[in-house]
Structure 1
Amino acid sequence: MKGVLILSKGIMVFVEQSQGNIRKTSLELLSQASVIAGQAGEAVTAVILGQNIENLADEAIQYGADKVIVADAPQLEKYTIGPYTRVLKSIIRQEEPQAVLLGNTATGRELAPRLAQRLGVGQASDCTGLEYAADTFLRFKRPVYAGKALVYVSSKVRPVVATIRPNTFQAVARVPQQQAVVVKYPVESEAAELSVIIREVVLAGSKRPELTEANIIIAGGRGLKGPEHFAMLGEFADTVGGAVAASRVAVDAGWVEHEYQVGQTGKTVSPTLYIACGISGAIQHLAGMGSARCVVAINNDPEANIFKIADYGIVGDVFEVVPMLTQQLRKTAYPQV
């Protein structure tokens, strides 16, 4: 990776927040960064941007931050790429971390390459592994070729910027460190210069977890035969506290909106449990859910490709199996993951 080698220290985590709440993926990163920092004898710095978000510092410390930098200003209330990039770049230059970690969310995927370019350093994208390495400090694991292979990447150029896939690590609270500090970062007026203005942020009204952060996902494909049958998956998902997803075929047919699509041209997810209902298992779909810890496939075709990667398979009619599972799980008061 090209760039200017600079002296640096510790791990910096961009703590993404929405509506005054820290996103789960940021807590996961803080937890893992704390583990690695302990191995390396380094510290973890959390950076939070927004307005009226000073109260979030305590939660960041609870999940692993040794230092929290809070940039609290009216112009940072709503996420916009220009001001956020300028403020983060300035903080990174000041703190000189060895690595900057962001969640592989829509915000993280937009911020990371801009930060890397402006800092003149390298970037590792959509990583599914992160570990300490004595020679390069960090080593990242990431899928390539639509998930068919894994590569390990590292860089001696500092700081390396990386986005980490949600649900890669567990968010584990710890006993807050006595020496943890909170620093208010003064936001300069130039941060208010906007090339893009966000007029309004409209949040989806669903009570289900956000797809990329869901622990359980119930996904439907061509086998559902029509949009009306996604309500069946919704009932199943609500029973287990999960989210609903779809294959590209279902989205292209107009059965559900694109925001539900999992796959190479949709969202990449890493749930604890992924239940594929009526999905054949095209390689493009597997690229988006291949890192799920447990895959259950329900399909009436015993030769369906999805069974090759499934941990458990049910050969049967999805319209019989899913309602049966939903009914049984309701009786047993299934504990949500």
Structure 2
Amino acid sequence: MADCVFVVAEFRGGDFRRVSYEVASEGRKIADALGVSLYGIAVGSGVTDKASQLGFYGVDKVFVADDPALESYVAETYVPVIASIIEQADPAAVLLAASVDGKDLSARLAARLEAGLAQDCTEVVCEDGALKAKRPIFAGKCLAWCEWAEDALPMISCRPNVMDCRDADATREAEVEAVAVEIPEARSRATGLELDTSGKVELTEAEIIVSGGRGMKASENFSILEELATELGAAVGASRAAVDAGWRPHSDQVGQTGKVVNPNLYIAVGISGAIQHLAGMGSSKYIVAVNKDPEAPIFTKADYGVVEDLFKFVPAFTEEVRKMKSTC
């Protein structure tokens, strides 16, 4: 009989990514519903000193593989190491982040462990001891509920910035156990990691995003969105049209061929609302659209719509935000 739920944390740049705490919080909810313990897996270089902090978000015990060879995610090293830890237990489920690395890792782990994988899930429930997970399909046009056969190991990757994250309880540290695992020699390796040191908020973890599309007309016009984003503490995104035009880097692209984001507030400026773009931001909590075309498809998805010339509205809106902040 299963005696635990596993969550796999992501460790990067000397700390856990926020999505790891979201996955841990979701894992705690599932473990409580099943009446089992919640175990974490932390892999990386220098991760031991941070591992106990997963307990702040509900993890009871963390199994740590700490080695310089694991500094960067490489499938050939991470997959066998994490799989060997999971194989030593009898988990009721395994949860990971549906991040860039997490999607790759979960697919490979599922194949190795012969688990049933539900990718990019937005909700997980436990009914009568059985798990069900909801995930978007067909570019977000439909939502599917997934169930598992009785003898299958459920593996669930959770879409970042969707699951509720528990308030950190600093008095609750997790037990940490170092595990001795054989790290295979990989045929590939990470030679470096290029990080954005500009201080900007990372798109996939941003709570507010201001995105611009073809309606911005030129790269220099994104400065008005940058100014609004600064006042809101937001990240700046872009549609594929704006990226293809060379106005923004691909790292800013939101959509089916870019990044999937789930902020509390998504402000779409001069974006028509093509289905590929909606697939990347449709699960945002609140969507505000600014477009001078009242028939733009984006308005069918928006919670609030502004039919106005963006070059008039955005600067005026930015000024109002600035005034409100000055009075707080």
For 1:3, the equivalent position in structure 2 comes to none
2:266 is aligned with 1:279: no
Please name the residue that 2:67 is paired with: 73
- Alpha-carbon distance in structure 2 between the residues aligned to 1:319 and 1:157: 58
Aligned to 1:31: 25
Residue 133 of structure 2, aligned match among 134, 140, 149: 140
Match of 1:4 in 2: none
1:215-294 map, 5 Å: 215-294=207-286
Q: Check conservation: 2:96, 2:158, Cα contact below 8 A.
A: yes
The change in CA–CA distance for 1:179 and 1:305 in structure 2 (over 3 A counts) is: closer
1:85 maps onto 2:85 in alignment: no
1:93 and 1:205 map into 2 onto residues whose CA distance is 39
The residue identity in structure 2 corresponding to 1:148 is K
- The TM-score, its normalising length taken from structure 1, stands at 0.93
1:324 maps to amino acid = A
Structure 1: unaligned runs, 5 residues or longer: 1-6
Q: Work out the percentage of aligned pairs sharing the same amino acid.
A: 44
- Say if 1:73 and 1:187, in contact at 8 Å, map to a contact too: no
Which of the numbers 35, 38, 45 marks the counterpart of 1:44? 38
The 3-state SS of whatever aligns with 1:285 is helix
Name the count of aligned residue pairs: 327
CA deviation vs aligned residue, 1:36-75 (integer Å, no higher than 9, x gap): 2122211111111111111212210011101111111111
Match of 2:196 in 1: 204
**Matches of 2:100 and 2:86, distance apart in 1:** 21
Give me the whole-angstrom Cα distance separating, in 1, the residues matched to 2:63 and 2:230. 38
Aligned to 2:9: 15
Paired letter, 2:40: A
Deviation larger for 309-318 or 324-333: 324-333
Greater Cα shift, 58-67 or 199-208: 199-208
Of 112, 116, 123, the match for 2:117: 123
Conserved in 1, the CA contact under 8 Å of 2:54 and 2:174? Answer: no
TM-fit CA distance, 1:235 = 1.4
Is 1:11–1:99's contact at 8 Å kept on the other side of the alignment? Answer: yes
CA distance in 1, matches of 2:219, 2:173: 55
For 1:317 and 1:276, how far apart are their aligned partners in 2? Answer: 13
Q: Paired residue for 1:299? A: 291
Distance 2:268 2:259 in 1: 15
SS in 2 for 1:208: coil
Indicate yes or no: 2:67 matched with 1:64: no
Residues 269, 288 of structure 1: 8 Å contact kept: yes
Matched residue, 2:101:
107
Once the two structures are TM-superposed, the CA of residue 192 in structure 1 deviates from its matched residue by: 4.1
Deviations, residues 97-122 of structure 1 (Å, cap 9, x unaligned): 12111111111011011000011121
Where 1:169 maps in the other structure, the secondary structure is coil
One-letter identity of the residue aligned with 2:18: K
Shift of 1:178: 6.5
**Cα deviation 1:13-40 (Å, max 9, x = unaligned):** 1110111111111101111211221222
The alignment yields a C-alpha RMSD, in angstroms, of 1.8
SS in 2 for 1:292: coil
